[in-house]
Amino acid sequence: MPTYAYSTPDGEVIERDFPRGEAPDEILLGGGVTARRDYHAELGYRRRNAGSGWPMTCFASGVHPSQAGELRDYLAKQGVPTEVNRNGDPIYRDAHHRKRALKARGMYDRYSFT
C-alpha cells in the first residue's frame, strides 16, 4: 500500500497509507486540525536530504511486493546492490546508482538527461 504525505498548517509532514488511487486530498487530525495532501513531500523534496531528492524511492521501476526480495537479489547479482522497500520499490542512492540499476534491468529513463 503506498504512503501519502500530508502537511498541517504549521508545516508538519504526516504520512498515511491508503490503497493506490484512494488517498483523500485532506485528512482530519485530532483537535480539528486539517492536513492537506503534500505532493512535494511525496516526491521526496521535504524528506531526507532536504530537497536533494536522494535517496529516491522509485515507484515506476518497482515490482509487486511479493517480488521485492527477488529484485533485491537480482540487482545484487548484477553488481548494483539496491535496497527495495516492502512495497517492491527500489531506493536509489543517487543518479548514477539509479542509471546503473535501470540498465541492469534493461530499462532507461529518456527524460533523465544523464
Q: Kindly report, residue by residue over 81-114, the tens digit of the pLDDT.
A: 999 999 999 999 888 899 999 999 999 888 765 5
Number of other CB atoms surrounding residue 82 within 10 Å: 21
- According to DSSP, residue 97 is labeled H
Whether the Cβ atoms of residue 50 and residue 27 lie closer than 8 Å to each other: no
pLDDT band for position 30 (cuts 50, 70, 90):
confident
Distance CA 46, CA 66 (A): 29
In 3D space, the residue among 51, 34, 32, 31 whose CA is nearest the CA of residue 43 turns out to be 51
Q: Residue 51: which pLDDT band, with cuts at 50, 70 and 90?
A: very low
Which residues, at least 6 apart from 90, have a Cβ–Cβ distance to it below 8 Å?
57, 58, 61, 62, 71, 75, 82, 83, 84, 101
In this predicted structure, what is the pLDDT of residue 74?
Answer: 96
